[in-house]
Amino acid sequence: MPSLRTVVGVVLLVAIGLISLAVFAYALWKWWRVAQRLELPVWRRIASFAGFVTVIVQGATFVAFWCWPQISRDNKLLGAWARWAFASFIIAVPFVLAGKGASRWWLLSSSVLLFVICFLLSTIA
């Protein structure tokens, strides 16, 4: 039987993960509604789209940790996984901030939450 500390940690980790995915979905919904009304320069639209793609990559690295448990068992795989998580966060932040509207703040918070979760997972494993 797992200890109460382990159960609480898993519940918190899953809750934060679900919150970050919900925030991403809300940011996507806000972006879709507002993007058609805003007249943005081409570079800003491209940067905003690139921000969404990099946050999707962050979400994919988070999901990969849970789908392939070998990542947490092998130090070489864990290092590669952590580099992907860190690189996607570093790339996502400027692209997300280049966007305009409320969706960028929701997308930024989703990116930060995913990065924090990935950082904690890499230090725990």
Give the tens place of pLDDT for each residue, 58-76: 888 888 887 887 887 888 8
**pLDDT of 35:** 63
* Cα–Cα distance, 86 to 123 (Å, whole number): 13
Average pLDDT (115-119) is 85
* Cα–Cα distance, 95 to 51 (Å, whole number): 5
The answer, yes or no, to whether residue 94 has pLDDT greater than 90, is: yes
Q: How many CB atoms lie within 10 A of CB 39?
A: 5
Q: 50: Cβ–Cβ under 8 A, 6 or more apart, which residues?
A: 91, 95
* Cα–Cα distance, 63 to 34 (Å, whole number): 28
pTM: 0.75
Token pair, residue 78, equals 């864990």
Give the tens place of pLDDT for each residue, 4-21: 877 887 787 778 778 877
* Cα–Cα distance, 46 to 44 (Å, whole number): 5
Q: What are phi and psi of 14, to 5 degrees?
A: -65, -40
- Would you put residue 99 in left (φ > 0), alpha (ψ -120 to 50) or beta? beta
Give the tens place of pLDDT for each residue, 32-45: 777 666 677 888 88
The answer, yes or no, to whether residue 93 has pLDDT greater than 70, is: yes
